């Protein structure tokens, strides 16, 4: 992605390297990574993310993390994320204006190392990237992408980070438009299987919104960027994760969609660039 020398968002709160006291995963982190991927991109509601965070944090050790200077590579990745966040601001401000959706309230992205306090509760890096609607912030420990690549076969690359960022922004869009609240209400009125379908539709719509952003940001894309996004989407499909983790697939337990669904909805957003065409709910629930 062509990002160097361009505008960076002022809505980035970079807490990496700061001294924090939090719960850190013991035993190498692979169990936590599995939990991350089973729940990945599911931080669209405080009610959903808080129990996940608490479950992950149970049994972990409390440790004092000393302040340290960020490496040159870490600083560069931070600059990249700030540029991606600025691009999402430009695109979604314009889309909201064009579609008479009111003002687009720009979210804050928090980069952290090891542990963080959010409006949805305390979280360790094992919680994975998530969006908290209570404070309308995105939270991300960038070391997650190393695990995504080495443990779960994603291609990697800078646009994998851009895709995840755009997906979490998609959950912010859902919060602003009232979609997340409607989903929570419907989930409380139905059974587990139907509630899971609602969750799948919500996650796929966030993938669609990520594709819409990429469509409107094409002038800055480079060869291979979309492939990197699709590789990440493929790696975090429910079916791919379940096959890798438990050997078999249980469709009724899906909460995020299959690899194919995630890639297809991202590409639909990318090809059309039209927010009005992202009705995943009528497709998934029928």
Does residue 182 carry a pLDDT above 50? yes
What integer pLDDT is reported at residue 44 of this predicted model? 52
Query: How high is the pLDDT of residue 43?
Result: 52
Residues 44-95 have pLDDT tens digits of 544 454 444 445 445 444 445 567 788 898 899 999 999 999 999 999 999 9
Q: Is the pLDDT of residue 173 over 60?
A: yes
Q: What is the pLDDT of residue 35?
A: 47
> Which residues, 6 or more positions from 80, have their beta carbon under 8 angstroms from its beta carbon?
1, 3, 158, 161
CA-closest candidate to residue 237, choices 269, 266, 210: 266
Which letter does DSSP use for residue 50 in this model?
H
- Beta strands 108-111 and 115-118: pairing type? unpaired
Token duo for residue 285: 């629930």
- pLDDT at res. 153: 61
> Across residues 99-113, what is the average pLDDT?
95
Per the structure block, which two tokens stand in for 142?
Answer: 């960038």
**Spatial contact of 217 and 149, defined as CB atoms under 8 Å apart:** no
Mean pLDDT of 133-158: 81
pLDDT score, position 99: 97
pTM of the model: 0.85
Q: Quick one: what percent of the chain has pLDDT higher than 90?
A: 64
Report d(CA 8, CA 218) in Å as an integer: 18
* CA dist., res. 239 & res. 247, Å (int): 10
Q: Where are the alpha helices (DSSP H) in the chain?
A: 30-39, 46-57, 72-98, 144-152, 158-177, 179-187, 192-216, 225-235, 238-246, 259-272, 280-284
The length of the chain in residues reads 286
Residues 198-254: pLDDT tens digits?
Answer: 999 999 999 999 999 999 999 999 999 999 999 999 988 999 889 888 889 999 999
pLDDT confidence of residue 20: 53
State the chain's mean pLDDT as an integer: 85
Strand, coil or helix: what is 168?
helix
Rounded Cα gap, residues 251 and 255, in angstroms: 9
């Amino acid at each position: 992605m062509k990002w160097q020398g361009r505008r960076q968002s002022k809505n980035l709160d970079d807490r990496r390297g700061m001294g924090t006291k939090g719960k850190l995963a013991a035993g190498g982190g692979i169990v936590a990574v599995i939990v991350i991927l089973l729940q990945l991109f599911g931080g669209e509601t405080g009610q959903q993310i808080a129990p996940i965070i608490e479950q992950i944090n149970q049994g972990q050790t409390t440790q004092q993390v000393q302040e340290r200077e960020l490496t040159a590579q870490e600083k560069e990745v931070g600059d990249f994320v700030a540029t991606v966040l600025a691009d999402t601001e430009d695109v979604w401000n314009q889309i909201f204006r064009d579609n008479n959706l009111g003002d687009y309230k720009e979210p804050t992205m928090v980069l952290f190392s090891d542990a963080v306090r959010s409006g949805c509760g305390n979280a360790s890096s094992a919680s994975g990237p998530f969006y908290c609607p209570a404070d309308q912030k995105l939270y991300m420990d960038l070391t997650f992408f190393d695990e995504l690549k080495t443990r779960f076969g994603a291609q990697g690359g800078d646009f994998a980070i851009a895709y995840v960022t755009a997906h979490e922004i998609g959950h912010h869009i859902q919060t602003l438009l009232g979609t997340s609240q409607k989903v929570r209400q419907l989930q409380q009125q139905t059974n587990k299987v139907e509630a899971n379908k609602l969750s799948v539709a919500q996650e796929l719509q966030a993938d669609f919104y990520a594709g819409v952003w990429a469509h409107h940001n094409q002038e800055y894309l480079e060869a291979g960027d979309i492939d990197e996004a699709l590789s990440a989407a493929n790696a975090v499909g429910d079916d791919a994760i379940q096959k890798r983790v438990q050997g078999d697939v249980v469709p009724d337990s899906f909460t995020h969609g299959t690899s194919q669904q995630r890639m297809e909805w991202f590409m639909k957003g990318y090809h059309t660039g039209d927010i009005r065409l992202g009705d995943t709910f009528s497709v998934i629930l029928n």
